[in-house]
């Protein structure tokens, strides 16, 4: 398995509170991604990073911010969580070549 961990694995929080999810890799891959997975939808990209301090928005970035201060860590922050952000969040990594993208185990977030 690709060396990707996510923390926490489960979290329940209340509307309006800040939440930070962490993705950690040991593969030294350049690209890191945050997706959310909801019933009836394919995985949807929130943000991704193409290097330390280099990030870009995905299709569902509103309400989320990210940071990457080290190659191995990619943080996803919900500044003020809403119930619509209840979801399963997956981190993925990819190297420049080949293109294989590998996923972490996921974080189940519930916003009450």
63 or 106: CB nearest another protein:
106
Tokens read off for 44: 């949807």
Question: 10 Å Cβ neighbour count for 53?
Answer: 9
80 or 105: CB nearest another protein:
105
Question: 10 Å Cβ neighbour count for 40?
Answer: 4
DSSP 40: T
Contact call for residues 33 and 93 (beta carbons, < 8 A): yes
Cis peptide before 8 (omega within 30 of 0): yes
What's the start-to-end Cα distance of the chain, in Å?
Answer: 33
User: Among 8, 12, 28, 41, which residue sits at the site for another protein (rule: CB under 8 A)?
Assistant: 41
Q: With binding defined as CB under 8 A, does residue 103 bind another protein?
A: yes
User: Among 18, 26, 100, 112, which residue sits at the site for another protein (rule: CB under 8 A)?
Assistant: 100
Q: With binding defined as CB under 8 A, does residue 104 bind another protein?
A: yes
What is the maximum span of the chain, computed from C-alpha positions, in angstroms?
41
User: Among 29, 36, 48, 81, which residue sits at the site for another protein (rule: CB under 8 A)?
Assistant: 48
Q: Pattern 57-86, binding to another protein, x per CB under 8 A?
A: -xx---------------------------
Contacts with another protein, residue ranges (CB under 8 A): 31, 33, 35, 40-45, 48, 50, 56, 58-59, 90, 94, 98-106
């Amino acid at each position: 398995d690709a060396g990707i961990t996510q923390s926490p694995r489960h979290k329940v929080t209340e509307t309006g509170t800040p939440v930070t999810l962490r993705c950690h890799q040991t593969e030294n891959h350049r690209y890191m991604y945050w997706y959310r997975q909801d019933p009836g939808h394919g995985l949807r990209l929130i943000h991704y990073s193409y290097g330390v301090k280099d990030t870009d928005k995905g299709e569902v970035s509103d309400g989320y911010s990210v940071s990457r201060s080290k190659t191995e860590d990619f943080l996803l922050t919900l500044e003020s969580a809403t119930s619509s952000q209840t979801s399963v969040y997956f981190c993925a990594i990819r190297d420049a070549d080949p293109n294989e993208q590998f996923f972490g185990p996921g974080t189940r977030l519930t916003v009450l």
